[in-house]
Copies of this chain bind each other. A is one copy, B any other.
Amino acid sequence: MAEKKLVEAITSMDVDFAKWYTDVVKKAELIDYSNVKGCMVIKPAGYAIWELIQRELDDMFKATGVENVYFPMFIPESLLQKEKDHVEGFAPEVAWVTHGGLAPLTERMCVRPTSETLFCDFFANDIQSYRDLPRLYNQWCSVVRWEKETRPFLRSREFLWQEGHTAHATAEEAAERTELMLDIYAEFHEKILAIPVVKGRKSEKEKFAGAKATYSIEAMMHDGKALQAGTTHNFGDGFARAFDIQYTDKDNTLKYVHQTSWGMTTRMIGAIIMVHGDDSGLVLPPKVAPVQVMIIPIRQQAEGVLDKAFELKEKLKNFRVKVDSTDKSPGWKFSEQEMRGIPLRVEIGPKDIEAGKCIICRRDTDMAGLPYEKIECNLDEIEQKVATLLDTIQEDMLKKAAGHLSANTFEARSKEEFVRLFNEKTGFVNAMWCGDRACEEAIKEELAVTGRNIPYQQVKLADTCVYCGSKAEDMVCWGKAY
């Protein structure tokens, strides 16, 4: 335990969760702050996670027919203004380019906060006939929103994301695509990030600027707060009418297309940290861990130890594996591997080699001061053992996160219970709601919580709104949000 002090201590999660978060982000070397206020430098350990996320997600998109494209980063002001709700939603938070080279521009342009207007402008010319539909486009890029308060990964002035933009012949197809992408987002979170989510529809107040309907997946962080982890939007033909995107249908009549958009961002890395992390640092799900196994030689100066370590690395070449052969002490190396959230550590020293064995430690079972699970493994069985352990870790991490979500999700059938729950706990509270915006705002005012979404999985808890007592159809998932 003394060795642990070698790595500077991070704040305990229970003492100050926000401080713990920024400590982990820095000490695990995911990001650094930059000279550009509100923008971050994503360092190799952070960017490698993003690359794994991109590859997995991109494959899932492409399997549904999506094609990648790249659109300009600038939007002329007149284009941004074409859809009324959209410009009202975004104009207050965009960065404006006013000069190109030494001369002022005749029309200023914003750096894209999102690209609906550019895609619509393109679709208006590109789509002529029903044969051109559907258009299923996606781009990986960075976007800019001039936020006042920023936090690494969770809210920054520039962030990386993917934005999908599709155009369809019918309203039904657009609705199907909106839900399909939400399903993919949810599946990705569960299977790849080991994060369970609540799928649902946003209220009128919370929906995207210009959308007919917005859907979200909401994840619960370790502190019980909600993180909106992905959104999909059904635009109906609203943008098509504003941008005049029409096609000639089989019956030879002109019709408006129906559109969707959907996005997920580097925020997901923030979710991974806040769902899985612990007081020793980051804990990465094996599927997005840039290094899955760190081999740490013990008494590496002793004859044959380093050779054996690299021999094991070669045996494990189907995994993402590294040997830490630096001149740091084993204890220091352990702490670094823990801080970086590397799922498995293999310890190998002279005695192990003599016995034909090694020790494998799971990162994910180091919780609440409990000792790691240490597994003795025959050297000739290591490949199979590592494969099994990585699968087990991936599953166990999802189970643990699902247990946390379930243990901190409550139901309220009366106003009193609703208020008491939020006064006593931080978590999700399911409760019936009338659908009235004034009521929604009163709840936010009194309890500092928002309706995260109207979950797909509805339970009719009552006939009336938990807060105002009016008639209620929908159960809403309420919570404090990041």
Interface of A with B (CB < 8 Å)? 32, 34-36, 39-44, 47-48, 50-51, 67-76, 79, 92-102, 109, 111, 118, 121-122, 125-126, 137, 141-142, 144, 146, 157-158, 160
Contact = CB atoms under 8 A, between A and B. Distances in A.
A93 B101 contact: yes
B97 A35 contact: no
B68 A41 contact: no
Given A40-B72, A68-B48, A137-B44, A98 B101 contact: no
A92 B101 contact: yes
A97 B95 contact: yes
Contacts of A125: 32
A178 B100 CA distance: 32
B92 A99 contact: no
A36 B75 contact: yes
Contact of A99 (B32, B98, B101): B98
A272 to B, nearest CB: 17
A40 B142 CA distance: 17
A67 B291 CA distance: 13
Contacts of A36: 72, 74-76, 109, 118
A74 B39 contact: yes
A340 to B, nearest CB: 14
Contacts of A122: 32, 34, 41
> 7 closest Cβ contacts across the A-B interface?
A39-B72, A44-B67, A100-B146, A96-B99, A42-B70, A101-B146, A36-B72
A425 B69 CA distance: 39
A95 B75 CA distance: 13
Nearest to A101: B146
Most buried by B among A42, A95, A141: A95
Nearest to A148: B101
B72 A47 contact: no
A160 B70 contact: yes
Most buried by B among A40, A42, A92, A101: A101
B121 A34 contact: yes
Contacts of A146: 100-101
A73 B158 contact: yes
Given A101-B146, A122-B41, A35 B68 contact: no
A35 B121 contact: yes
A35 B70 contact: no
A73 B43 contact: no
Nearest to A70: B42
Given A34-B72, A34-B121, A39-B72, 13 more contacts: A32-B122, A35-B76, A35-B121, A36-B76, A41-B69, A41-B71, A70-B160, A73-B111, A73-B142, A74-B95, A74-B158, A93-B101, A101-B146
21 contacts: A35-B121, A36-B76, A39-B74, A41-B70, A41-B71, A41-B72, A41-B118, A42-B70, A44-B67, A44-B68, A44-B137, A47-B70, A48-B68, A51-B68, A70-B142, A73-B111, A73-B142, A92-B102, A95-B99, A95-B100, A96-B100
Nearest to A119: B41
Most buried by B among A41, A99, A109, A142: A41
Nearest to A43: B69
Contacts of A144: 73
Contacts of A44: 67-69, 137
A214 to B, nearest CB: 22
Contacts of A74: 36, 39, 95, 158
A250 to B, nearest CB: 13
A79 B109 CA distance: 23
Contacts of A76: 35-36
A48 B69 CA distance: 8
Contact of A142 (B32, B67, B100, B141): B141
A95 B72 CA distance: 14
